[in-house]
Amino acid sequence: MSEAYPGLVLLLVLQVCAWVLLLWRCWGVLGYPLDCKDEQGSIISCTSISLEKLLDRVIQHAELIYHVSEESCTLFEEMFVPVSMHTQQNRARNTCITKAFPIPGSKSEIQKISDKWLLHSVLMLVQSWIEPLVYLQKTLDRYDDAADTILNKTKWVTNKLSSLEQGIVELIRKMLDEGLLAVEHQQTLTRFDAQPEVVESILRDYAVLTCFKKDAHKMEVFLKLLKCRHTDKMSCYIS
Amino acid sequence: MFANNSCEKKGAGIMATRLVFLSLVCGAVSVSVGEHLTTSEVPPKRPYFVDCRSPEQETFSCWWSAGDYQNLTGPGALSVFFQKNRDVWRECPDYSTAGENHCYFNSTYTSIWIPYCVQLRSQIQDIVYHQMCFTVDEIVVPDPPVGLNWTLLNISQTGQHFDILIQWEPPPSADVKKGWISLVYEPQYRAINMSDWKPLEVERACYQSVYGLKTGMEYEIRVRCKQAASEKFSEFSEHLYVYIPKVPTKETLFPFTMILIFGAVGVIIVLMLIIFSQQQRLMVYFLPPVPVPKIMGIDPELLKKGKLDELNSILSGHHTFKPELYNDDLWVEFIELDIDDQDGRSHHSDTHKLLGSENLNGNCLNIKDDDSGRASCYEPELPDSDMLDRSQAEAREEKASLLDSEGRAAHSSTTDPSPPGRSHPGATAEGASRSHPQIQSQLSSQSWVNLDFYAQVSNITPAGGVLLSPGQQSKIEKTAEAHSSPKTQKCQLAMTTDSAYTSEMDAKNISATPSLNGNEPKVIVSPYTVSEAPASSVPPVSDYTTVQAVDSQQSLLLNPSTLPTKGTPMPAGYLTPEQLNSIMP
């Protein structure tokens, strides 16, 4: 046994190395660990994070969420949506219900929005999507195993959304010096009430995914605009 | 005239037929065309939107085609209406900026994430040929990147390959800086003469390294981009040309050095193989085996256990071999044997002993001869032999010494090629008749210094005293060799040189033999015994004598001494001090 011991140790070391390598690649996906340094550069405990780093992390989250949601959308379209309905017309027909307060779409208008409104818009978007995604997970369970990847992605996105929400709250607190006492989850209008038929349920889920993808894109763009303003205020206001 | 009329008539007829033919053909064609048109399922292609595109997510434009309706190709033949967010339908604001058949929507009309629908209508606005719905973020196809350039990173040591870093700028229309749009880029490269483009990684950064390009070859590089989550790539950028000339010196030297190195390695490997395969031979050649100490005539096999007899026989043949094997015990046993044999002592019994089953003859005869010519009948004892061997050897020695004496006696008759004395008692008798000085001469002895048991008798006084002198052995040996037959010679010489002593019995025997034949007395000298040699009669053999004088040449003059009183028992071979005192005058 004593002879096998060095072999076992070596095997264990190799395993650890393999896992480290695996996880190292995933770190880029999952986001970089918090690097809590104060202005002098010494590492302190992560009680606080600088605004730039917080903003970077939030943007990272938003980018990832958008990327994954786009993948889910494409996958769903390939797997379940009939070919005849792949045209852009049908995509646009599944309109997404607008939120409580309309968000302007044009770039010029968006650039005129203040930081406060941008942040609040993003927060609202994030909060409005947590419930529908949970609902989507339930409906995706009813599909066969082909939807497992989409289901996993949806679960992942839901988790990331919650952490993004926390980040936005923190960002609001730092940038706007506002304290949100409680995270208000606005009850969104249930968009799809009726008991659907099969085809309709597919289209409904597809619509959910598509709309979520759009909103994820919105979040990303808003946050990036915010970052530009934070870093270089002068050039960012010039359209 | 007449011909003209006929020609005219004929021409008219021909014309008529031609016309009929043509009409028929036309009819057929039209009918077929008509049939074709009526029976085919494919309607004429209606005007349709080819595509809508937004290059920077701030404006977008849509363009259409008239299809098969050629009359609608002109400007103003068709109109575009759009609906923004399910609102009211409005007509295209700009037909001209983007070109013919294009409808351009500037930034005021463009809202992202909001559904748009466009319709292609006829001018009269009552026929909708085509409708398309989209959101602007889905139709983003950026412009190609600009500003391609490259920098050299390094050239390999061989000068065959090099690495470069290529850089570019995002399309100027895309507002990447503000973060309005996020682009990813894909560079591609190929060698000029190749047909396939090699794509590199799709990355967000506006630079990328290209490794492993070959010197002396020209390369083409191009880049394209797309929105991060989209699948539609932009057009390719302008091509960039990269070329680095070959460095000739490095290239020419490199193969030679490599060939040298590999050749040397190959030669070394071959040498190693040869060495290892021929290891034994090479070892023998370069490092010849050191000659093992070899005793001539002795096969190393004999040194193995169990072959002591043969070894003894061989070893005893060397005249230089000094058996240091005779310790006191042997001497004692030797004497004991004498005591045992005293009663039964007779010439015949001795000879019987000699002729016993011990096959001394056989040993003598079977001894392998070597170059030295000194095979031995005599078998000296080895120290590690046990008592039995020793006793056997003693017996042999005793007999050998007897043989020696007999042999010597035989040898004394030089003229007579007598058979070896060991087998013939008669020879012994003959030998007894030998002349006195010959016997004397044969009684070779070694010097007193060597502590051998024989000393040469140089003279005998009339009174019976014996003059012993050392150091004339070799001379006598040579004479002995010259005269005797080889085998007897060997035997005799062996007896002479190697034998430590003769027994009293031998001495008495030798002395007795002349009495049988009535010859002159012989004198045999041993360090311990001396026999008187009176001129006429056989003197009684006494064991000891006294040294009367010592010559300058280290010769000893021995006096014959009276026998001790017969009553006193003679101890075996040595005197007690009292006896000595009694003997000494």
Q: Which residue has the tokens 């595509």?
A: B51
In this prediction, residues A125-135 reach a mean pLDDT of 89
Highest-scoring range by mean pLDDT, B5-9, B68-72, B304-308, B429-433: B68-72
* DSSP state letters, B297-344: T--GGGGSTT-HHHHHHHHTT-TT---TT--HHHHHHHHHHHHHHHHT
Q: Give the least confident one: B68-72, B169-173, B185-189, B235-239.
A: B68-72
Higher pLDDT, B559 or A46: B559
Mean pLDDT of B330-359: 50
Mean pLDDT of chain B: 69
Q: Quick one: pLDDT at residue B172?
A: 92
Helix, coil or strand: residue A235: helix
A218 in contact with chain B, both atoms CB, cutoff 8 A: yes
User: Which of residues A147 and A234 earns the better pLDDT score?
Assistant: A147
Amino acid at residue number B416: D
Chain B: residues touching A (Cβ < 8 Å): 57-58, 86, 107-108, 110-117, 131-138, 175, 177-180, 182, 228-229, 231
Mean pLDDT in residue range B453-470: 71
Across A57-61, B380-384, B387-391, the highest mean pLDDT is recorded for A57-61
Confidence class of residue B288 from pLDDT cuts 50, 70 and 90?
A: confident
Going by C-alpha positions, the residue among B459, B430, B426 that lies closest to residue B525 is B459
Which tokens is B571 given?
Answer: 């101890």
Measure CA B335 to chain center. Answer: 65
Tokens 């995604």 correspond to A133
Percent of chain A with pLDDT over 90: 17
| Of residues B259 and B125, more confidently modeled | B259
pLDDT given at position B383: 46
Q: Tell me how far apart the alpha carbons of residues B33 and B27 are, in angstroms, rounded to a whole number.
A: 10
Q: What is residue B230's predicted lDDT score, i.e. its pLDDT?
A: 84
Confidence label for A146 from pLDDT (cuts 50, 70 and 90): confident
Q: How far apart are CA A52 and CA A32, in angstroms?
A: 14
Is the pLDDT reported for residue B572 higher than 90?
no
Interface test with B, best of A64, A68, A73, A106 (most B CBs within 10 A): A106
Beta carbons of B131 and B80 less than 8 angstroms apart: no
How many CB atoms within 10 Å of residue A152?
Answer: 14
% of chain B with per-residue pLDDT over 90? 19
Annotate B174-195 with DSSP letters as a single string.
Answer: S-TTTTSS-EEEEEEEEETT--
Tell me the average pLDDT across B396-403: 51
Which pLDDT belongs to residue A48?
Answer: 76
Which chain B residues touch A236 with a CB distance below 8 Å?
Answer: 178
Confidence of residue A9 (pLDDT cuts 50, 70, 90): confident
Mean per-residue pLDDT of chain A: 77
> For position B555, what pLDDT does the model report?
67
Does residue A214 carry a pLDDT above 60? yes
Among the listed ranges A2-6, A200-204, B80-84, B436-440, which one has the minimum average pLDDT value? B436-440
Q: How many interchain CB pairs under 8 A, A with B?
A: 78
pLDDT at position B84 is: 87
A227 and B179 within 8 Å at the Cβ level: the answer is yes
Q: How far apart are CA B403 and CA B505, in angstroms?
A: 12
* Contact between chains at A63 and B228 (C-beta distance less than 8 A): yes
pLDDT of residue B520: 44
A184 SS3 class: coil
Q: Smallest Cβ distance to B179: which of A66, A106, A228?
A: A228
Question: Alpha-carbon Rg of chain A, whole angstroms?
Answer: 22
Mean pLDDT for the stretch of residues B414-443: 43
Return the exposure string of B285-316: e unless at least 16 CB atoms fall within 10 Å of the residue's CB, then b: eeeeeeeeeeeebbeeebeeeeebbbbbbbbb
Which residue would you say has higher pLDDT here, A239 or B172? B172
Confidence of residue B411 (pLDDT cuts 50, 70, 90): very low
CA distance to partner chain B, nearest, from residue A224 (Å): 5
Give the number of other Cβ atoms within 10 Å of residue B427's Cβ: 22
pLDDT of residue B40: 59
B44-62 pLDDT tens trace: 788 889 999 999 899 999 9
A94, two tokens: 């599944």
More confident residue, B414 or B67: B67
List residues bridging with A58 in a β-sheet: none
Give CA–CA dist A39/B274, Å, rounded: 72
Cβ pair A95:B177 closer than 8 A = no
Looking at residue B365, what is its pLDDT? 46
- A-chain residues within 8 Å CB-CB of B58? 107
Q: How confident is the model at residue B514 (pLDDT cuts 50, 70, 90)?
A: very low
Residue B415: pLDDT band with limits 50, 70, 90: very low
Residue B550 φ/ψ, nearest 5 degrees: -120, 125
Tally of CA atoms within 13 A in the half-sphere of B202 that contains its CB: 11
Q: Is the pLDDT of residue B145 over 80?
A: yes
**Helical H segments across A172-197, by residue range:** none
Q: How confident is residue B100, by pLDDT bands cut at 50, 70 and 90?
A: confident
For residue B57, the distance in angstroms to the closest alpha carbon of chain A comes to 8
Chain B residues in contact with A217 (beta carbon < 8 A): 113, 137, 229
Q: Which of A104-113, B180-189, B284-293, B529-538 has the lowest mean pLDDT?
A: B529-538
What residue in B sits closest to A69 (Cα-Cα)? B229
- Give the residues across from B60 on adjacent strands: B105
DSSP B408-471: HHHHH-SSS-PPPTTT-HHHHHHHHTS-HHHHHHH-----GGGT-S--EEEEE-TTS-EEEE--
Per residue in A161-207, pLDDT (tens digit) is 999 999 899 888 888 777 665 555 555 544 444 444 566 778 888 88
Question: Nearest 5°: phi and psi at B136?
Answer: -65, -35
Q: Is B222 helix (H, G, I), strand (E, B) or coil?
A: strand
Cα B441-B490-B472 angle, rounded to 5 deg = 30
